[in-house]
Structure 1
């Protein structure tokens, strides 16, 4: 099972020079896709237990459109191991104009992670 969300990164989220956004932005999106994944598979939002691995591969910038995907890779009795990937699918291009942007093909992978969510024991 895989779930994907897309989100525009507003300029109000830029914290650093060059319109950079902190790495936690992508992790927040991972929490959202993990929640939907748990609802779809277990009928419950579940709880995020933790990450076993996180890798920041490229920057997220204000004006980006980010796509975050969560895929279940292991199912335990109550735990679900999930792989995450966040990609920039569109990026602002201020050199062409103040509201110009480009669709990126291929997208830029910005963050990958592996984590564990826990869901309640299913009741009959």
Structure 2
């Protein structure tokens, strides 16, 4: 899994948060969806796969901004827009959209950036340009008081 963070803050040192959480901060993960996660015909994975990925990027966001993993409080407006399949390469993005005293509201998006293409060969795959937006949501995470 790859990860990147975009922020106006300076790079963080090990074991410390970057400081004040800022609206617009983003965390991006990329990962391959293994065939062991296929749940339905056509190698489809269930929607919970995207929600778990949202939890992962939210956890990293909270570690970066608050020095704590935080706890997910709620999801809202979850939209399953396109399938995620085993063999896909996906990127999962969290963007901080609201900062409360203990709450952090984020927008999430799963994009399929590459997909297996068995018609061309057993291990063939194609980069999707543009990526396919598969799942979107908003969520709220709470962190301990500072």
The reply to whether TM is greater than 0.5 is yes
Per-residue deviation at 1:53? 1.5
Per-residue deviation at 1:52? 1.7
Residue 92 of structure 1 is matched in structure 2 by 116
Per-residue deviation at 1:111? 0.2
SS at the partner of 2:118? coil
Residue 82 of structure 1 is matched in structure 2 by 106
1:31-67 per-residue CA deviation (whole Å, 9 max, x = no partner) reads 0000000000111100000102200000000100010
Residue 52 of structure 1 is matched in structure 2 by 76
Runs of 4+ in 1 over 2 A off after TM superposition: none
**Structure 2: gaps of 5 or more residues:** 1-24
Does 2:97 match 1:42?
A: no
Per-residue deviation at 1:105? 0.5
**Structure 1: gaps of 5 or more residues:** none
TM score, norm. by length of structure 2: 0.83
Q: Aligned partners of 1:66 and 1:27: how far apart in 2?
A: 13
Q: Aligned partners of 2:91 and 2:126: how far apart in 1?
A: 15
Per-residue deviation at 1:120? 0.3
Q: Which has the higher contact order (CA 8 A, sep 6+)?
A: 1
- The number of residues matched between the two structures is 122
Q: Write 1 or 2 for the structure with the bigger share of strand.
A: 1
